[in-house]
Amino acid sequence: MLGLLAAIALAPWTQPLAFSPLAGWQTGASGTVKSAYVGHGQRVRVPKESAAWIARNVRYRSPATEDPPNTTLRHLRRNSVIVWAVIFQGVPRGQKRVRADLEHAKHFACCEAEYVPGGLYEMTGTGPGGAYSVIIRVFFGSPVTPALRAQAQRALNRLQLPPSR
């Protein structure tokens, strides 16, 4: 029984977060690493996270887990789009499943260290089965147009959240 519980606890971390390929976009990921995120009141001995990104019209220069990816944001060009996501252990009570849809994203001016002309759009929630928390951030290198929004949504649609088991 203990082995089964351990397997269930590890399941999302055996398949790290990733974006499937998209023509004209670069992708990258961290794999499963020790988490920098706090587990929302749940005690986890060695918390895990997995981050991934997909970028267009900018060379991604940041470590995959850099949040926000300031090294890359410094080099944003007009019409650049970056979609960055992370999953991590710990789920707050009552949190709903994440929706990777810009229509439901919160908009922020962004960021701590770098100016981002189009701002930041953020979606948060849980992954499948409530097995982990998810943060998805979209950065735009210029004011958001319908065409840029459509490009970003195509990239969001490529996000592959690991199954809960």
pLDDT in tens, 65-112: 999 999 999 999 999 999 999 999 887 788 899 999 999 999 988 777
What's the pLDDT score for residue 96? 92
Cβ–Cβ under 8 Å, residues 132 and 91: yes
pLDDT digits (tens, 9 = 90+) for 118-141: 989 999 999 998 889 999 999 999
The pLDDT of residue 5 is above 50: no
Domain boundaries, the chain: 2-160
For residue 116, pLDDT over 80 is answered with: yes
Please tell me the distance from the alpha carbon of residue 112 to that of residue 32, in angstroms, as a whole number.
25
The pLDDT value recorded for residue 39 is 52
Task: From 36, 30, 25, 33, select the one nearest 62 (Cα to Cα).
Answer: 30
Highest mean pLDDT among 4-13, 146-155, 156-165: 146-155
Q: Give the model's pLDDT for residue 81.
A: 97
**Backbone dihedral angles phi then psi of residue 141, each to the nearest 5 degrees:** -80, -5
For residues 141 and 134, what is the distance between their CA atoms, to the nearest angstrom?
23
**CA geometry: angle at 62 spanning 75 and 122, to 5°?**
85
Token pair, residue 78, equals: 């007009």
DSSP symbol at 14: G
Residue 146 pLDDT more than 60?
A: yes
Instruction: Give this prediction's pTM.
Output: 0.88
Q: What is the pLDDT of residues 12-50, one digit of tens each?
A: 677 889 999 999 999 999 988 888 776 555 555 667 889
